[in-house]
A and B are shown apart, each in its own frame.
Chain A
Amino acid sequence: MSALGPLPRRIAVALALPVTLIAAWWITSAGSENFYFPPLQTIVQTFGKLWFSPHALSDVVPSLWRFSVGYLAAAFLGIAIGIPVGASRNLRNVLEPVLEFFRAIPPPVLVPVLILFAGIGNEMKALVIMFGCIWPVLLNTVAGVRALDEVLAETVRSYRIGRFARLWHFTLPGASPLIFTGLRQALPIGIILMVVSEMFAASDGIGFALVQYQRTFALPEMWSGIILLGIIGIVLSLIFRAIETRLLGWYHGLRQSQRAG
């Protein structure tokens, strides 16, 4: 692989295609009379009016709140369950068939069920998001704990390192590269389920707003909502990457030194 160029060059490469696509959309849709595909210019103007108004907060904030609660609960539970399961073969043998079954259930089908006993409030949505996000985190944590280095494990034992220090200084960091893989996979799942759960039964949220616009044939508004979701996805993934770079710096350095050596 060629050496990475200077920063401006990299930014230019990264932005080339998005800019081209937006430009193409802008030009081809300019002056569009088609009701379903309004000019991008109109969509952008609507976007500004709609999502930079205080009113928008009443849809965006509940959505992000539900996402955060569901995602973080899934992260916590996935790691907390994954560590003992990864460490114990017996536990794996007992749990694996059940986990495989639950994982095979598409999370959106839980929405009607959860409405029955969790209502149509935030709890139901957070539960749906959690149920979808937990599997990649859980399964990757299990794989990460199983892949812990044996020599390192013996080192930990021979120095009589206690349970808590073992978890904090060995198990968690050792499994963290795979845990982060799971967390990254869970991110888009969480966003999808956030929108889907709001489309079913809600009185606010981005998903709810989208359905409202669609039903009232407010097409520019609907399109702008879709763009907003894309932007939220990118921002979340940038935040995620910043955290990952900080916590997994050692891992990327290690990999690089192994490739070089």
Chain B
Amino acid sequence: MLEVKGLRKVYEDTSRTVEAIRDVSFCVGEGELVCIVGPSGAGKTTLLKCIAGLLAPTAGGVIVEATPVVGPPPAMAVVFQEYGRSLFPWMSVHDNVMLPLKQKNMPAARREELVRDALAAVDLKGVESAYPWQLSGGMQQRVAIARAVAYEPHVLLMDEPFAAVDAQTRADLEDLIRVLWRRLRVTVLFVTHDIDESVYLGQRVMVMSQAPTVIMEDVAVDLPDERTQLETRSMARFGELRKHIYSQIQLAKQGWRPPAG
């Protein structure tokens, strides 16, 4: 479904070169929900932009649905961290969700239906005509998620989407992602710096090292599929996974990395 092979990214300008990603390879199966967690400065956003086709890798590559990524793939949607900057402030909520659909060849009635359903799916009704900046941060991020959902992607990339909302809203949005993922059977790659969030959301958690980034470990999350904030987070297994990933991140921060090969 989604394959990253030997991806390397070096930023070069006249004065210096920075190796952001050294060598990252992994696969995400169809319909999987995989979290990528790493310390700040782990090149998470760089990796995600390479996968999204927004940034060209220095070496290696990304394959989505058997097609090498050279630009943004058609069946992919990205939700960015900065909801305030990823929504068009001059457009209503409705028009924000509608704009990408206008690029798709489909009857107008179908577009309207997709917008309506997507806004309903993220619990946003009655704000269609509002401007994004008239809404709270959590609601704005819901609009961005609705826009991604309406686009009917096969792959949904999320770049620390809840890093800028308050804790309560964040828990609600995490549950929303689980619900949408299960209902839409979409493949989700979720980047975060929050260990708890990665364990709570993911079927797998990939732990990144510090830049130049490699993957430290690919952790399978063997928690039941039905997850609730209250019960899942108080399970003994949740604590173990959390502790394990936490210690990996600590190692990453100290500069430890897995032996090459």
Contact = CB atoms under 8 A, between A and B. Distances in A.
A178 to B, nearest CB: 14
Given A151-B86, A152-B85, A152-B86, A158 B52 contact: yes
A251 B90 CA distance: 7
Contact of B99 (A150, A159, A251): A159
A123 B232 CA distance: 77
B140 to A, nearest CB: 11
Contact of B91 (A160, A169, A251): A169
B102 interface: yes
B246 interface: no
Contacts of A254: 89, 131, 133
B229 interface: no
Contact of B131 (A151, A152, A253): A253
B80 interface: yes
A161 interface: yes
Given A169-B99, A257-B133, A155 B78 contact: yes
B85 A149 contact: yes
A165 interface: yes
Contacts of A152: 85-86, 88
A152 to B, nearest CB: 6
Interface in A106-158: 149-152, 154-155, 157-158
B200 interface: no
Contacts of A257: 133-134
Contacts of A173: 88, 90
Interface in B100-137: 100, 102-103, 131, 133-134
A250 B85 contact: no
Given A169-B99, A250-B90, A158 B133 contact: no
Dominant secondary structure at the A interface: helix
Contacts of B99: 159, 161, 165, 169
Interface string A161-189: 11001000110011010000000000000
A151 B65 CA distance: 26
Given A152-B88, A154-B54, A155-B86, A160 B74 contact: yes
Interface string B34-77: 00000000000000010011100000000000000001101011
A interface, size bucket: 20 to 34
A28 B77 CA distance: 72
A202 B102 CA distance: 52
Given A152-B88, A154-B54, A159 B82 contact: no
B241 to A, nearest CB: 31
Interface in B201-248: none
Contacts of A165: 99, 102-103
A258 B85 CA distance: 12
A174 B82 CA distance: 17
B162 interface: no
B131 to A, nearest CB: 6
Contacts of B100: 159-161
Contacts of A253: 131, 133-134
B190 interface: no
A168 to B, nearest CB: 10
A157 to B, nearest CB: 6
Contacts of A250: 89-90, 131
A251 B49 CA distance: 29
B115 to A, nearest CB: 14
Given A151-B82, A158-B72, A169 B89 contact: no
A247 to B, nearest CB: 9
B54 A158 contact: yes
Given A149-B85, A170-B88, A158 B77 contact: yes
Interface of A: 149-152, 154-155, 157-162, 165, 169-170, 173-174, 176, 250-251, 253-254, 257-258
Q: Ordered nearest first, which 4 A-B pairs have the shortest CB separation?
A: A159-B100, A151-B85, A173-B90, A250-B90
Given A151-B86, A161-B103, A169-B99, 12 more contacts: A152-B86, A154-B54, A157-B71, A157-B72, A158-B52, A158-B53, A159-B99, A160-B74, A160-B100, A165-B103, A169-B88, A258-B133
24 contacts: A151-B86, A152-B85, A154-B49, A154-B78, A154-B80, A157-B54, A158-B53, A158-B72, A158-B77, A159-B99, A159-B100, A159-B151, A160-B71, A160-B103, A162-B103, A165-B102, A169-B91, A170-B88, A173-B90, A250-B89, A251-B89, A253-B133, A257-B133, A257-B134
